[in-house]
């Protein structure tokens, strides 16, 4: 990631964490960092996982894949760690052994990386609705082009948002790339932001991007 890249997320820290969550961040998170990952198995990336509901769903639906979740908001990282470890001994729960966590800007993970993903998910990306904040929108054409280079042969970028104005804006950004867009009906679990439905729209809209 270039040092001067514009910040696309809000705060990194929220309200004070419980003792258990702070313990998990300090002691358990290092075991989940995506180190020494090779392209030998199937890899799935979720960008901006929030509290991690969909990362957990992916882990269960794809037990033979490695799921990498990227999220710079540490309260969200702590929430995911709390949900995938046992409360009694903080050991990772069996069904979540395939999760890895990148607790930072995804662009730093991708910088210099040679990883290839079968799926890259972005659910309810920050819409930055004010005109003066538009430059903070993550899913601009340059970033979409970059994501396209991280797809494996039949890989897909799956984007969902209930903010329809941002959706249309993304569709327009896609037109500046060589990616192909389709709009299949998708059934995706409700994440925290899907529940919040801050845009007060009827339903999230989904977009799938491929290189061919
Ligand atoms: C509106 S929230 C949605 C969270 C979750 N996907 C959901 O549906 O509940 C958007 C998330 O994207 C994260 N985000 C924004 N820019 C990011 C970046 N460059 N890399 C990784 N995550 C990012 C933010 O920290 C925030 O948690």
The model carries a pTM of 0.96
Give the mean model confidence (pLDDT) for residues 51-76: 98
Using the atom order of ligand 1, give the atom closest to the CA of residue 195.
9
Q: Quick one: pLDDT band at residue 202, thresholds 50, 70, 90?
A: confident
Nearest CA to ligand 1 atom 15: 9
**Under 8 Å CB-to-CB from 39, ≥6 apart: which residues?**
114, 115, 116, 152
Return the pLDDT at 2: 54
CA of 190 to the centre of ligand 1 (A): 15
Using the atom order of ligand 1, give the atom closest to the CA of residue 123.
6
Question: Pocket around ligand 1: residues whose beta carbon is below 6 Å from it?
Answer: 8-9, 47-50, 70-73, 76, 105-107, 123-126, 138, 191-194
Give the mean model confidence (pLDDT) for residues 161-168: 95
Return the pLDDT at 3: 58
Nearest CA to ligand 1 atom 12: 48
Return the pLDDT at 40: 86
Decide if 148 contacts 208 (C-beta within 8 A): no
The alpha carbon of residue 55 and the mean position of all alpha carbons in its chain are separated, in whole angstroms, by: 8
Correct CATH for 19-32+39-198 of 1.10.3720.10, 3.10.20.30, 3.40.50.150, 1.10.357.10: 3.40.50.150
| 108 Rama class: left (phi>0) / alpha (psi -120 to 50) / beta | alpha
pLDDT in tens, 69-88: 999 999 999 999 999 999 99
Report the chain's mean pLDDT, rounded to a whole number. 95
Query: Is pLDDT above 90 for 5?
Result: no
Secondary structure of the chain in the HEC alphabet?
A: CCCCCCCCCCCCCCCCCCHHHHHHHHHHHHHHCCCCCCCCCCEEEEECCCCCHHHHHHHHHCCCCEEEEECCCHHHHHHHHHHHECCCCCCECHHHCCEEEECCCHHHHHCCCCCCEEEEEEECCCCCCCHHHHHHCCCCHHHHHHHHCCEEEEEEEEEEECCHHHHHHHHHHHCCCCCEEECCCCCCCCCHHHHHCCCCCCCCEEEEEECC
Q: Which residues are catalytic?
A: 126
Nearest CA to ligand 1 atom 19: 105
Nearest CA to ligand 1 atom 5: 50
Return the pLDDT at 189: 86
Return the pLDDT at 199: 79
pLDDT in tens, 115-132: 999 999 999 999 999 999
Give the mean model confidence (pLDDT) for residues 183-208: 88
CA of 124 to the centre of ligand 1 (A): 7
CA of 59 to the centre of ligand 1 (A): 18
Return the pLDDT at 9: 95
| Pocket perturbation via mutation, ligand 1, pick of 5, 9, 109 by most ligand atoms within 8 A of CB | 9
Query: Is pLDDT above 70 for 196?
Result: yes
Give the mean model confidence (pLDDT) for residues 183-211: 89
């Amino acid at each position: 990631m270039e040092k001067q890249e514009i910040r696309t997320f809000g705060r990194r820290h929220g309200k004070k964490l419980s003792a258990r969550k702070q313990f998990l961040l300090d002691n358990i998170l290092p075991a989940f960092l995506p180190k020494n990952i090779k392209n030998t198995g199937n890899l799935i990336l979720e960008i901006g996982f929030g509290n991690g509901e969909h990362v957990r769903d992916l882990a269960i639906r794809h037990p033979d894949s490695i799921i990498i979740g990227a999220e710079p908001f540490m309260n969200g990282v702590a929430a995911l760690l709390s949900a995938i470890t046992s409360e009694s001994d903080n050991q990772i729960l069996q069904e979540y052994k395939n999760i890895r966590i990148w607790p930072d800007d995804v662009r730093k993970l991708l910088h210099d990386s040679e990883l290839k993903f079968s799926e890259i998910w972005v659910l309810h990306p920050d819409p930055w609705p004010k005109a003066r904040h538009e430059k903070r929108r993550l899913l601009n054409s340059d970033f979409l082009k970059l994501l396209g280079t991280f797809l494996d042969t039949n890989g897909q970028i799956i984007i969902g948002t209930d903010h329809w104005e941002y959706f249309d804006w993304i569709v327009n950004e896609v037109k500046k790339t060589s990616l192909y867009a389709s709009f299949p009906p998708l059934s995706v679990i409700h994440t925290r932001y899907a529940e919040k439905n801050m845009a007060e729209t009827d339903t999230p809209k989904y977009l799938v991007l491929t290189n061919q």
